[in-house]
Structure 1
Amino acid sequence: MSMPLGGVQVGSYDSYERAQAAVDHLSDEKFAVENVTIIGTDLRMIEKVTGRMSLGRAVAAGAAGGAWWGLFVGLLLGIFAEDGANWVGSVLTGLLIGLAFGAAFGGMGYAATQGKRDFTSTSQITASRYDVMCNPAHAEEARTILARFSLRG
């Protein structure tokens, strides 16, 4: 029979923060934490809708991203400027070109979706349980340390 991924279970927690605190406690107790793995089970993706997407928002977001890249390129090109006026010119030119291209690509990207995704969102993967697993050779020591940790708080 093969060993499960990560070893044998020495603790189980309902949040990642608690599992992380358990491993941190093991580390504080000078346990060899390189033998420990945190495994999240029963994964689910949560997508939170943050707002409507419109052509104006897409163009504005593209322009903002393009402006940052243009500013970066302008600053790089400004290194080779002979005087202050040429440096300012390089930075402003890079900024404006980046802004224009970003706005254009933002608008084209929105148009390419053809209204199939007219909202913005953020997503995250969460687990319903986090198991702290350990190499079998060190599992009993880890269980003993974590038992004291759970009694503490």
Structure 2
Amino acid sequence: MFKTAPTVILPNVEDRPVVGTYATAEQAQKAVGFLAGNGFPVERAGIVGHGLRQVDTVLGRATALRAAGAGAATGVWFGLLVGLFMSLFVGEQGQALPLMLGGMLYGAIFGASFGLMTHLGTRGSNHGVVFRQSIVADRYDVVADAQVADDARNLLVKHDWRSGPA
């Protein structure tokens, strides 16, 4: 009745030789992009981060006004979408704009209400501070299957020569 997705078995990254090491994820991604742009089979490569750590960036205080504003903004988009779909099923010409504007208005009201209720419900957590969490690594290794590692290494030497040291 239900079909399951095929299982993809990836090679163990520890068994793949390192062909390049970079200080940031963006540099490693650009290196893999360079490999792809030069015809390398990038499905045989990967990026491994070492020395992972979680970084919490403080975005500011969570205020009732900020929560209501974020909820209203989300509600406007949802209301616009609902209004747009409703206008597709209304037979009369000229009804699309009022339906979309009405949807945006109601969406803003309900979104602001839900945002404010959520803020008031979680008031004690984190002392009203908003964080963004990310995972970063000390270094990023580009790895490749052993059969194509030399090709990748040779291409990355050209990439590093063009873009400067990592």
Distance 1:142 1:57, change over 3 A: closer
Paired residues of 1:6 and 1:37 also in contact (CA < 8 A): no
Task: Note closer, same or farther for the CA distance 1:80–1:38 as it changes in structure 2 (3 Å cut).
Answer: same
Q: Identity over the aligned pairs, expressed in percent?
A: 39
In structure 2, relative to structure 1, the CA distance for the partners of 1:63 and 1:32 (3 Å cut) is closer
SS in 1 for 2:51: strand
Q: List gaps (5 residues or longer) in structure 1.
A: none
Provide, for residues 87-144 of structure 1, a one-character-per-residue CA deviation record: whole Å limited to 9, x for no partner: 3332232122212211111111011103323122323221110111111112233233
Instruction: Single out whichever of 6-15 and 70-79 deviates more from structure 2.
Output: 6-15
TM-score by length of 1: 0.82
Q: Aligned AA for 1:89?
A: P
Q: Which residue of 1 aligns with 2:3?
A: none
Per-residue deviation, 1:148? 4.6
Determine the structure 1 residue equivalent to 2:8.
none
Aligned CA distance change for structure 1 residues 92 and 135 (closer, same or farther; 3 Å): same
**How do residues 22-37 of structure 1 correspond to structure 2 at under 5 angstroms?**
22-37=31-46
Q: 86-95 vs 127-136, which deviates more?
A: 86-95
1:143 paired residue among 122, 138, 153: 153
| Aligned-partner Cα distance in 1 for 2:12–2:66 | 52
CA-CA distance at 1:62 after TM superposition: 1.0
Paired residue type of 2:46: T
More strand by share: 1
d(CA) in 2 for partners of 1:119 and 1:19? 33
CA distance in 1, matches of 2:50, 2:153: 20
With normalisation by structure 2, the TM-score equals 0.76
> C-alpha separation between the residues in 2 aligned to 1:57 and 1:40?
35
| Deviation (angstroms), 1:70 | 1.0
| Aligned Cα root-mean-square deviation (Å) | 2.4
